[in-house]
């Protein structure tokens, strides 16, 4: 079997052999993909270490807002892990309820408002009308209920208000036995198929929610098992490759993830891993989405499917601490100084009385 390699083609495109007879033809954006990943991860590690801004001399990264190289390191994922998944009862129903309640809206402020107004959210005490009224009140004062990160279609449950339909969907999923089926799933793909079967949850959302559930102690599958490319990642793949040799987007993501170390070495890039955790399929999927945005400025000639030419969100540097919290089952050797003093012992906000969970900074 020929070793996976890379060489220039007759058309000036890099040829990447991923298997016998399968050669991807990479554009200049492919090298930018790895440079962006290294720049973004180094910026993140400087922030975590408490270094003052600026954390990069790259003008695009300094001006615009991008997610981290590792999905679990992003602000909302960190909040989900620290303040939602591992706090409260650890039954499959309660974990599933908290995870989906948080992720349907994907907005920290919405979760905290529910906590303050109603007490710690639990399925055991869930009352749809009480929850809906809190969300109604948020909207009535002109605030957002949903994050702008995802497009969230309204489930077909008959209400004129989308947030009420999402509460009904969550209630339906739990009454339908989804938590137990998820807990008994034999693979990450099985979890995805269970979630995907419910109305309004397309491939992308179902996969994102699958990864979120997999952060909890409810599941323990490898993030290298399965991946689904979102719209942004598909745009990034199109910009990185002129020819994908007939591979679908998931296979391209896997081929790229598998060769990450070689690409960083080839380009002479320093990429600090997440305290020993290499890039996973979900991370490289996200990086394709982010390089799609980055390329709008750095490679304006590269065309994706969306036709977008600008990066909307600007980056406002803040010299604040970034306490880190990851699933204990990952066994990451996170230095104690990066977990934040007392951060993992902080009780949930509002009237909640749930016992805190201590997150180890060393391998379990």
**pLDDT tens digits, 258-269:** 999 999 999 999
Flag whether pLDDT at 339 surpasses 80.
no
Q: Under a CB-based contact definition with an 8 Å cutoff, are residues 345 and 112 in contact?
A: no
**Mean pLDDT of all residues in 182-205:** 98
Q: Which residues pair with 17 in a beta bridge?
A: 23
Closest CA to 116 of 333, 319, 350, 342: 350
The tens digit of pLDDT for each residue in 48-98 reads 999 988 899 999 999 999 999 999 999 999 999 999 999 999 999 999 999
Q: Going edge to edge, which strands form the sheet with 6-8?
A: 6-8, 14-19, 22-26, 241-243
Flag whether pLDDT at 217 surpasses 90.
yes
**Mean pLDDT of all residues in 332-355:** 54
For residues 113 and 65, which has the higher predicted lDDT (pLDDT)? Answer: 113
Determine if the pTM surpasses 0.75. yes
pLDDT bucket at 347, cuts 50 / 70 / 90: very low
Flag whether pLDDT at 180 surpasses 70.
yes
pLDDT bucket at 7, cuts 50 / 70 / 90: low
CA distances from 28 to 56, 161, 294, 310 (A): 22, 45, 13, 19
Tell me the domain boundaries of the chain.
6-72+229-298, 90-214
């Amino acid at each position: 079997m020929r070793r996976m390699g890379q060489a220039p083609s007759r058309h000036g495109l890099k040829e990447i052999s991923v298997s016998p007879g399968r050669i991807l033809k990479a554009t200049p954006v492919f090298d930018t993909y790895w440079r962006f990943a290294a720049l973004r991860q180094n910026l993140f590690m400087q922030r975590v270490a408490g270094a003052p801004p600026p954390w990069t001399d790259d003008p695009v990264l300094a001006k615009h807002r991008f997610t981290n190289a590792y999905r679990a390191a992003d602000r909302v994922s960190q909040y989900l892990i620290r303040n939602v998944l591992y706090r409260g009862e650890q039954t499959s129903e309660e974990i599933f309820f908290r995870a989906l309640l948080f992720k349907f809206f994907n907005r920290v402020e919405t979760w905290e408002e529910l906590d303050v107004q109603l007490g710690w959210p639990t399925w055991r005490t869930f009352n749809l009308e009480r929850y809906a009224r809190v969300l109604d009140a948020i909207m009535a004062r002109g605030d957002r209920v949903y994050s702008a990160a995802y497009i969230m279609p309204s489930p077909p449950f008959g209400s004129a208000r989308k947030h009420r339909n999402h509460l009904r969907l969550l209630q339906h999923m739990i009454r339908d036995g989804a938590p137990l089926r998820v807990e008994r799933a034999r693979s990450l793909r099985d979890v995805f198929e269970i979630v995907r079967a419910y109305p309004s949850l397309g491939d992308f959302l179902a996969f994102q929610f699958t990864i979120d559930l997999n952060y909890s102690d409810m599941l323990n599958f490898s993030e290298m098992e399965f991946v689904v490319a979102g719209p942004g990642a598909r745009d990034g793949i199109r910009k990185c490759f002129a020819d994908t040799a007939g591979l679908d987007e998931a296979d391209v993501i896997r081929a790229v993830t598998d060769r990450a170390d070689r690409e960083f070495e080839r380009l002479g890039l320093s990429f600090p891993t997440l305290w020993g955790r290499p890039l996973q399929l979900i991370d490289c999927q996200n990086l394709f989405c982010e390089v799609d945005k980055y390329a709008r400025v750095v490679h304006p000639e590269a065309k994706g499917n969306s036709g977008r030419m600008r990066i909307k969100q600007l980056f406002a540097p803040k010299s604040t601490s970034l306490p880190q919290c990851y699933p204990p089952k990952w066994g990451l050797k996170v230095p104690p100084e990066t977990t934040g003093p007392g951060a993992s012992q902080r009780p949930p906000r509002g009237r909640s009385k749930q016992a805190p969970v201590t997150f180890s900074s060393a391998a379990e």
